[in-house]
Structure 1
């Protein structure tokens, strides 16, 4: 009888025994060091290292409540979903996700590859580091994992079975509330509004009924369009990166939803890095250089996605009517419009909602932080209200440059 035959939350002192029981990964005489490294809101993440060899592994466990609020209870089935989708994504985009060694349905824990030599992208961007391969890697990941999981490519019955397998109601509800609803109508009183921008937020978000209408349209698109197997939380904190390679991880929010949700999240979080650099880099030339690289990268991501999407569509389309002339352009147009809308939603919710981003909150100068937030909100509203006009990377560049000059 093992003590791991019944669920409980692991502590650092438990992890070595747990891994040794479950896997033959470390030698019996390993000298273990364990640290809890999770900085997200939902799960517990441990790095276990053998000090004798330097060999390491990651254990990620799903808790029964969020780490930010014990009142927010969650199904631990998200751990199964995450482990399963990482396996699927590995088949669609080899080398761009970490390897899963084991999923334990009792402890709701996953043992996986340690992404050695990589760093959390958000932290690296806040150090103003550049990653020349990112646009190439992320566009490949997005096209492969999204398009190849649709019923344009898959057998329709197989795809419907996948939809059922990845129903994720607890985490979808979090997105429905925190991304699509509360930032615009603070009915649960959980928004975190920077006091210097309280009146600005009231006028631009809470009182803008036209914005509420567009957010509602996007919300019900999110809830009802089982288009592709999406990551569901693809921000720069869910990416490990170095100059030569990218790992995408942490997909416990995965379900069948609209493709634009993943793409828009990437764009919004890249723009947070722009805001941080614009506010914190003192030297004008260095600031212009780094902010320029961010805008270049956003433009490149969008344009590479479009080119790769069309190529992958032509190579993989199975549905007979989806081969109709003009359909791919219509279909891609809907994806791009939703992408812009979601980029706006993510930008707003990470600025005024319950889960703010460090890119913005760590800006030390009050006036510069207030300015950054106003830029974000103004740009986000442009993304949401005029989402049908964002058809290329250049459209994002124009919008960013136009808003930046207003403040």
Structure 2
């Protein structure tokens, strides 16, 4: 293992020998092949396949720089954070996250279960596939992983130790800039704005001082509310899925933050899928089927989370004062307001920020893409400005319908 005593960025052809050196997973002498399968901005993901048996495994290594902006240096400690949080999440939501076999602190790499038979959810949604179990699975993950890492359940001192362990300043800094600041100010002159919507974005985002105020409040909520151990980047590119099963992974942005941030990100990304289907599916019946599923999944994500919040709270909460009558409902109202705010900030940053989303950018017709972006921004502003009024799934569906009608 002497060749792995100092960090270097692996290439696909390096991954097989690395796995053989670190794990007793493949038999000696078997033909192994490595390929890069990741498309993220800050990590390198390799699949190693035994060409004799078809057995496979994943190597994920943290890079020193981001791909979208090389000057954005990021700490490789995020790999340690990700490996540990996946183990914690597997304890609270077993089977919904991949198994971690090893984390290497020198190479900043983890070796993990290959999610064979699953598709990246964003890819599947771009092919207009639907996933009947997704809302149930993701809300089981959210309710258990969020509530059970909070002060509602954990011993306060133990929870504070986790807060300290999962401080993630580099990745949080990226979120604070790319999600909560730049989409409203373009202060670093690096936002990606679709030219047909330049005037729309100028008016609706850069010149809306009331929106900027609410975004500032949400930014400080994100920075200062160490509520639960959140995933921190829960979009459809962080989900591998099939018709029966869901894996949630890629939590390198994890830290102690507001629960609603994760839930709201799921909602916004389902809306992006709706926009793509609405614009790209030509056959009316297929378009109706896919878009209806997207709306139902949004509503079910909210409503099932609320149901599971109640059951997890009742079963696991240990804090005496949290058992005070009325507290459970009050606490949930804060989560739901944060959820709406996060759905809004995720929606806006994917339209107007530096990291756009393929669901929208791949819409081939310029006028349809422009309309989709306007729908997302209008919905997002509604969520941010009126976030206390979003308390059930139907409220999100109604807001989407209002945005669609405005831009019809």
- Same fold per superposition (TM over 0.5): yes
Residues 37-186 of structure 1 mapped to structure 2, 5 A cutoff: 37-186=37-186
Aligned to 2:279: 279
- In the alignment, the residues of structure 1 paired with residue 286 and residue 62 of structure 2 have an alpha-carbon distance, to the nearest angstrom, of 41
Residues 278-297 of structure 1 mapped to structure 2, 5 A cutoff: 278-297=278-297
Q: CA deviation at 1:138?
A: 0.3
SS state at 1:161 partner? helix
Q: CA deviation at 1:14?
A: 1.2
Aligned to 1:377: 377
SS state at 1:253 partner? coil
Q: Does 1:32 align with 2:23?
A: no
Q: CA deviation at 1:151?
A: 0.9
SS state at 1:339 partner? helix
- In the alignment, the residues of structure 2 paired with residue 334 and residue 12 of structure 1 have an alpha-carbon distance, to the nearest angstrom, of 45
- In the alignment, the residues of structure 2 paired with residue 143 and residue 361 of structure 1 have an alpha-carbon distance, to the nearest angstrom, of 32
- Post-superposition Cα deviations, 1:366-390, rounded to whole Å, max 9, x if no partner, equal 0000000000000000000000000
SS state at 1:183 partner? helix
Q: CA deviation at 1:64?
A: 0.8
Q: CA deviation at 1:318?
A: 0.6
Q: Does the Cα contact within 8 Å between 2:14 and 2:34 map onto a contact in 1?
A: no
- In the alignment, the residues of structure 2 paired with residue 296 and residue 234 of structure 1 have an alpha-carbon distance, to the nearest angstrom, of 19
- Post-superposition Cα deviations, 1:53-102, rounded to whole Å, max 9, x if no partner, equal 00000000001111122211010000000000000000000000000000
Q: CA deviation at 1:283?
A: 1.5
Q: CA deviation at 1:147?
A: 0.2
- In the alignment, the residues of structure 1 paired with residue 320 and residue 125 of structure 2 have an alpha-carbon distance, to the nearest angstrom, of 44
Aligned to 1:187: 187
- In the alignment, the residues of structure 2 paired with residue 142 and residue 37 of structure 1 have an alpha-carbon distance, to the nearest angstrom, of 26
- In the alignment, the residues of structure 2 paired with residue 126 and residue 53 of structure 1 have an alpha-carbon distance, to the nearest angstrom, of 31
SS state at 1:405 partner? helix
How many residues of Structure 1 are paired with residues of Structure 2 in the alignment? 407
- In the alignment, the residues of structure 2 paired with residue 237 and residue 350 of structure 1 have an alpha-carbon distance, to the nearest angstrom, of 13
SS state at 1:184 partner? helix
Q: Does 1:255 align with 2:255?
A: yes
- Post-superposition Cα deviations, 1:324-379, rounded to whole Å, max 9, x if no partner, equal 00000000000000000000000000111000000000000000000000000000
SS state at 1:282 partner? coil
Unaligned runs of 5+ in 1: none
Which deviates further from its counterpart, 27-36 or 243-252? 27-36
Q: Does 1:315 align with 2:315?
A: yes
- Post-superposition Cα deviations, 1:136-179, rounded to whole Å, max 9, x if no partner, equal 10000000000000011000000000000000000000000000
Which deviates further from its counterpart, 194-203 or 13-22? 13-22
Q: Over aligned residues, Cα RMSD in angstroms? A: 0.6
- In the alignment, the residues of structure 2 paired with residue 289 and residue 402 of structure 1 have an alpha-carbon distance, to the nearest angstrom, of 20
- In the alignment, the residues of structure 1 paired with residue 70 and residue 365 of structure 2 have an alpha-carbon distance, to the nearest angstrom, of 33
SS state at 2:185 partner? coil
Aligned to 1:394: 394
Aligned to 1:267: 267
Residues 342-353 of structure 1 mapped to structure 2, 5 A cutoff: 342-353=342-353
Aligned to 1:355: 355
Taking structure 1 as the reference length, the TM-score comes to 0.99
Q: Does the Cα contact within 8 Å between 2:260 and 2:336 map onto a contact in 1?
A: yes
Q: CA deviation at 1:285?
A: 2.1
SS state at 2:278 partner? helix
Q: Does the Cα contact within 8 Å between 2:13 and 2:33 map onto a contact in 1?
A: no
